[in-house]
Structure 1
Amino acid sequence: MSKQWWKESVVYQIYPRSFNDSNGDGIGDIQGIISKLDYLTELGIDVVWLSPVYQSPNDDNGYDISDYEAIMSDFGTMADWDQLLEEMHTRGLKLVMDLVVNHSSDEHDWFIESRKSKENAYRDYYIWRPGQDGKPPTDWIASFGGSAWQYDEETDEYFLHMFSKKQPDLNWENEKVRKDVYEMMRFWLDKGVDGFRMDVINMISKKEILPTYEEFQAGYAKAEPYQFNLPGVHDYLREMNEEVLSKYDIMTVGECPKVTPSEAKKYTAEHRQELDMVFQFEHMGLDKYKGKSKWELKTLELRDLKENLSKWQKELENDGWNSLYWCNHDQPRIVSRFGDDGKYHRQSATMLATLLHMMKGTPYIYQGEEIGMTNCHFDSIDDYRDIETLNYYQEMVGEHGKTPNDIMPSIYAKSRDNARTPMQWNSSAEAGFTTGTPWIKVNPNYKKINVENALADENSIFHYYKKLIELRRQHEVMVYGSYTLLAEDHPAVFAYERELNGEKLLVLCNFYGEKTTFELNDCTPYEVLISNYPTELPNDAMVTLSPYEALVYKTTSH
């Protein structure tokens, strides 16, 4: 397996709307990011993944793009963006941009033209179909609820949108679409960006022949067989790599819902020349019931997590590459989700960090994760902004007769707005995020959990993340070492080994709020690499772990 800079990097995701507001309008912006670059340098990260800052009507917080080569005025200007890139590169930081090309905004010029007539030159930039007996072409449901087809009176046809109706899906079968996308990618790469995070990139290929109503009766009502990981996607990505990606020294990560390890190898194996790594979501679905919506809450089983993460570690060990993440702009805060954001806030946050960063792959930190930001519990649905959350609430309360008390526990646990509350910089008004009124409320716990407090406390979650990042630079075994799961049946401890060229690490993570023990068996610790408790080397073969304790030993085998 070849060595690459992006394998050795740690990536920090910025959700610009919620990161830092420089002008008091309540919305984070590019100048706000520039003013905090020294903070990111202090943390020690290598790469910033910047969520979309392109021109957008903002139906889905910027993931509905109306101009791929312009900056949304909320965030600033192209001159601001140019300054951001220059300031980052000056500090040795790389910038990865979001690439959102499964769909555009319905306000993009391409779509405005496409809907004018069936003969328009841009008609086939999107997927249009006639209805059947006044009904949509298929019974597909969009990811945000409702039909995946929107009727358009202008031409008496429906267009496909797998997300919001303001996000029509692009037709990748059309070579002109692909050429225009590649040209846009070159625009940003020639400006100097260091790569792309590709939004739902495994959805860009759709089956040309859509199912009939008769096929629906035979069980084809779901969109998934026509939507994810279809063979054509690999043709498109290899073409993209050949035409664009291979010409630059960059990193690429594809967001790939419903991807399996065997499929992920097709995307990321070096000889296939497609992507560098993918985001998979299997571990993010372990606290929901199989086949049910994410809103139906289930307790995470540690054994399921061990089995899942280990499967991905082993299957991509020599062929492909893993992205390691707990949090992003679409996921709840991990310390609230799999940890304890109350009594053991620091301990569980640092344990989860250890478990992830010691694995093989490129680690991602989502803004605020490094200070242990938690889920928010807003009193009213009126305080929420996320389209998915609001649609779910409306469907459950408005259509199914549920009460708010029935619904809010699921929203508290799983709403995407948990990740989107403003970054908590200090204990001043609005957490120092803005001098105005923030676009979404600040989490009320900001006076306790904030950057200023974290920087001042040597034992803070921030300083622990900083040490993990430093260790990654010092110990190649953390990047390239093999992975072996240990004690698969231990009810409380997630344990594994990493090994490279004779250097061996033993990672022990107590996943719960009670003490537990772990038997060392055939290895002898000789150094504590990192721990979230004051600790010494064990006197015998039995290690006692405190609640949510994380311990990494350098070891030798007997």
Structure 2
Amino acid sequence: MSSPHETRVLPTGRVLRREPGWWRSAVVYQIYPRSFADSNGDGIGDIPGITAKVDHLAALGVDVVWLSPVYASPQDDNGYDISDYEDIDPTFGSLADLDALIDALHARGIKLVMDLVVNHTSDEHAWFQESRDPASPKRDWYWWRPARAGAEPGTAGAEPTNWASFFSGSAWQHDERSGEYYLHLFSPKQPDLNWENPEVRQAVYAMMNRWVDRGVDGFRMDVINLISKRPELRDGPTVPGRPFAWAFDQFSNGPRLEEFLQEMNAAVGLDERHLLTVGEMPGSTIDLARRVTDPANGELNMVFTFEHVGLDAQPGGTKWDIAPLRLPVLKQNLAAWQDGLAGVGWNSLYWDNHDQPRAVSRFGDDSPEHRVNSAKTLASVQHLHQGTPYVYQGEELGMTNTQFADISAYRDIETLNYHAEAMSQGLDPETVMHALSVRSRDNARTPVQWDDTSHAGFTEGIPWLPVNPNYVFVNAAAAVADQDSTFHHVRRLIELRHELPVVVEGRFALLLPEHEQIWAFTRTLGQQVLLVVANCSSTPATVPAGSLPDVTGARLLLSTHPGAASPELAPWESRLHLIG
């Protein structure tokens, strides 16, 4: 039974209070520390840099900061390869710096959610180093397996299964010291933990409890649905021309996933302490997400679904196999999740994050003519579905994809591995580079554009990743000064969420599901109806007569085109009407 609220005094002396269900009306802001703000001129963002910018977050009105990993790490995957869960990497600062950030955020009424990366560790973590000894008590903390029967260890085809890694190549790495292979669904420097071992689980829960005791308000759980694998480890189906098979059903959403999540919830007191929990769950179904987020099951508050960010890829292909996306397909997909979780579970709402290209370039129109209204319109649609919105750093500024002319400019391990594999297979270089320009994770990782000074005010040094050249006109200083900017539109959307219960609790209904330009829906709570109508195209759109609720006497809450009242919507125009 959870308490009505949790109130306690932090080591800093500040009082922390969390109410039940507070995250339903909250807006989360994700910070990718490496690219947010650099305080010491080394070209890499850090925790003191974040602390110096908390007033920007307070002015935007967000309730929560989700901090991508700042733990000790060799930085093979920019911090998602953790070598010590309970220390801060010197690249980003110190534990004292993190305490100061927590205090600065809490002083402004903003909570902090940490990234929890426990499907895998770094191969430099002490646990893994111990496990390399076949006689070690920690041998079973990871997935060690012998070579395939009859095969010579370390040779092609000797891997225990034919599974492909998310980052290209085999998901198995031969370790000469051990004489066996270990599983790594991502980089070889990210060996997978074996959650079947109860000692692993208890070590993870103990670590989580120590972070909560330090003042952390919740966890974003990286690829959490991969922690339960199918113990038989069967081969996946082969595809001509590809030596390794995609075997997602073998290592995701396994038979013990919900058991592990329930055990974690109880051991850490996730519900009892009113912590925000969101699980990154690629390949999750609506039914699974509904169960996982059903409060009666004691698992998670919400999950990140990936269906909508996979709709612009070729069926059966990879993220690099780009396909056109029709608006009806996108809006009907999100509506299915709204309907599927309604009344029981809870949705997370996002366009952008550190792994996805910039939304205004991907789903909108980032041309100088339409960028601002396009970013505003996408924000309106996102924030007014039912669920908890996530704003990725720079999204409130309408930041766009970047353009790198040469592979040498990229830093992302997934991008570099794909390019090398594609070139080895003889794919067209121009086609490959175009795919990178559209899909690479580095699009989201270029430094935040604070002003129009050198390196966009991100650093006094040389940034680890080049700043997008459009920083001279797309930057925070300009956006905050312009009351008609994307920043202020997002700020007003956040204010509406805090002011109007219909935004949080209202029932969702999609309108005009087949319309190729217009995204329209209602949110209904009692006698009150919120109507959202948006032209998600770069040409004018006419609303079919009689297709939307009558807005006579309704209150226009927010519009991308103030003063517009005709039935025709301008390019990337959105309107929010409150009826009743």
TM range (shorter): over 0.9
Give the Cα–Cα distance (whole angstroms) in 2 for the partners of residues 332 and 413 of structure 1. 7
8 Å Cα contact 2:229/2:253 also seen in 1: no
- Residue 429 of structure 1 is matched in structure 2 by 454
The answer on 1:231 being equivalent to 2:255 is: yes
Equivalences for residues 322-471 of structure 1 within 5 A: 322-342=347-367, 343-397=369-423, 399-471=424-496
- Residue 137 of structure 1 is matched in structure 2 by 160
Comparing 348-357 and 202-211, the one that deviates more: 202-211
Distance 1:303 1:237, change over 3 A: same
- What secondary structure sits across from 1:485 in the alignment? strand
8 Å Cα contact 1:355/1:509 also seen in 2: yes
8 Å Cα contact 1:204/1:233 also seen in 2: yes
The answer on 1:19 being equivalent to 2:39 is: no
CA deviations over 1:269-311 (Å, ceiling 9, x no partner): 0100000000000000111111101111111111101210000
What TM-score does the superposition give when structure 1 sets the normalisation length?
A: 0.96
The answer on 1:499 being equivalent to 2:502 is: no
- Residue 561 of structure 2 is matched in structure 1 by 533
The AA in structure 2 aligned to 1:208 is P
Give the Cα–Cα distance (whole angstroms) in 2 for the partners of residues 247 and 79 of structure 1. 27
Give the Cα–Cα distance (whole angstroms) in 1 for the partners of residues 406 and 458 of structure 2. 22
8 Å Cα contact 2:535/2:569 also seen in 1: yes
Equivalences for residues 158-197 of structure 1 within 5 A: 158-197=181-220
Equivalences for residues 74-223 of structure 1 within 5 A: 74-116=91-133, 118-132=134-148, 133-134=151-152, 135-211=158-234, 221-223=245-247
8 Å Cα contact 2:229/2:255 also seen in 1: no
Give the Cα–Cα distance (whole angstroms) in 2 for the partners of residues 235 and 500 of structure 1. 35
Distance 1:212 1:49, change over 3 A: closer
Gaps of 5+ in 1: none
The answer on 1:545 being equivalent to 2:572 is: no
8 Å Cα contact 1:528/1:537 also seen in 2: no
- What secondary structure sits across from 1:523 in the alignment? coil
Percentage identity across aligned positions?
52
- Residue 72 of structure 1 is matched in structure 2 by 89
Give the Cα–Cα distance (whole angstroms) in 1 for the partners of residues 345 and 259 of structure 2. 18
- Residue 7 of structure 2 is matched in structure 1 by none
The AA in structure 1 aligned to 2:448 is M
Give the Cα–Cα distance (whole angstroms) in 2 for the partners of residues 212 and 13 of structure 1. 37
Give the Cα–Cα distance (whole angstroms) in 1 for the partners of residues 331 and 47 of structure 2. 39
- Residue 8 of structure 1 is matched in structure 2 by 25
Give the Cα–Cα distance (whole angstroms) in 2 for the partners of residues 258 and 461 of structure 1. 32
Give the Cα–Cα distance (whole angstroms) in 1 for the partners of residues 304 and 313 of structure 2. 19
8 Å Cα contact 1:528/1:536 also seen in 2: no
CA deviations over 1:368-427 (Å, ceiling 9, x no partner): 000000000012111100001001111112x12234322111111000000000000000
- Residue 483 of structure 1 is matched in structure 2 by 508
Match of 1:46 among 63, 69, 83: 63
The AA in structure 1 aligned to 2:373 is Q
What TM-score does the superposition give when structure 2 sets the normalisation length?
A: 0.92
- What secondary structure sits across from 1:206 in the alignment? coil
Match of 1:311 among 326, 329, 336: 336
Q: CA deviation at 1:159?
A: 0.3
The AA in structure 2 aligned to 1:178 is R
Give the Cα–Cα distance (whole angstroms) in 1 for the partners of residues 142 and 413 of structure 2. 23
RMSD: 1.5
Q: CA deviation at 1:249?
A: 2.0
Give the Cα–Cα distance (whole angstroms) in 2 for the partners of residues 8 and 265 of structure 1. 19
The AA in structure 2 aligned to 1:299 is P
